[in-house]
Structures are given as C-alpha cells and as structure tokens.
C-alpha cells in the first residue's frame, strides 16, 4: 500500500535556494521505494517536503538516508516553536488517491 511522508520546515532568510539545491542532490541517493518527492512553498519561508513511497516498509528502510539529508539541511532551518524543533513530520498509509 502506498505510503506518504510530509515534513513541514521553515527555512532561514536567504537560504531557500540552498535548501532546494540540497534536496535536489537527493536524486543521487538510492532510496528504494521512493516514487516521488515534492517541495511545496506554503508560506513566506515555510515549506512542505512530501515523499511518496511504495509502502511503509520502504519508507522505514530509507529513514537513515532521510536523516542524513536532514542533517545537511538542518543549519538552514529555523525552530518552528512550540517544542517542535526544526521539523514537523507526519507519515502514514494513503487512504485515498485519485488523479484529475
């Protein structure tokens, strides 16, 4: 069953291009089961990173690679406040999907 992970991040002023570049470099990282990755700008400096995976097991197996990438972008991120740290991650199985 398809799985998704969604991570909210706030990029420091002037660091957006570097944030996108570092994520784009992930293309060379082997993450078996990753179907698609999107970055959506959802505010002035707020972004949502969305991954689409074959299943929850593939996503879990890729966690070390995702953490390695987060460690690369962490210096570019602001604390989100409220005890959340620099990321607010969510993940799970897809309940509904349709194409327009």
Per-residue confidence (pLDDT) for residue 26, from 0 to 100: 86
Model-level pTM?
A: 0.90
> Which residue segments constitute the domains of the chain, with CATH numbers given?
3-80 (3.30.70.100)
Convert the pLDDT of each residue in 18-49 to its tens digit: 999 999 998 888 899 999 999 999 999 999 99
Residues 82 and 38: their CA atoms lie apart, in Å, by: 26
Per-residue confidence (pLDDT) for residue 68, from 0 to 100: 92
Convert the pLDDT of each residue in 56-84 to its tens digit: 999 999 999 999 999 999 999 999 999 99
More confident residue, 28 or 14: 14
3-state secondary structure (DSSP) of residue 45: coil
Out of 15-19, 25-29, 96-100, least confident range:
25-29
Backbone angles phi, psi at 81, to 5 degrees: 85, 170
3-state secondary structure (DSSP) of residue 43: coil
């Amino acid at each position: 069953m398809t799985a998704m992970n969604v991570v909210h991040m706030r990029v420091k002023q002037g660091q957006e291009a570097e944030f996108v570049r570092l994520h784009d470099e992930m293309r060379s990282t082997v993450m078996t089961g990753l179907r698609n990755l999107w970055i959506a700008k959802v505010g002035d400096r707020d972004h949502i990173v969305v991954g689409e995976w074959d299943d929850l097991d593939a996503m879990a197996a890729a966690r070390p690679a995702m953490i390695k990438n987060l460690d690369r972008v962490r210096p570019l991120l602001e604390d989100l406040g409220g005890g959340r740290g620099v990321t607010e991650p969510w993940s799970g199985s897809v309940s509904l999907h349709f194409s327009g």
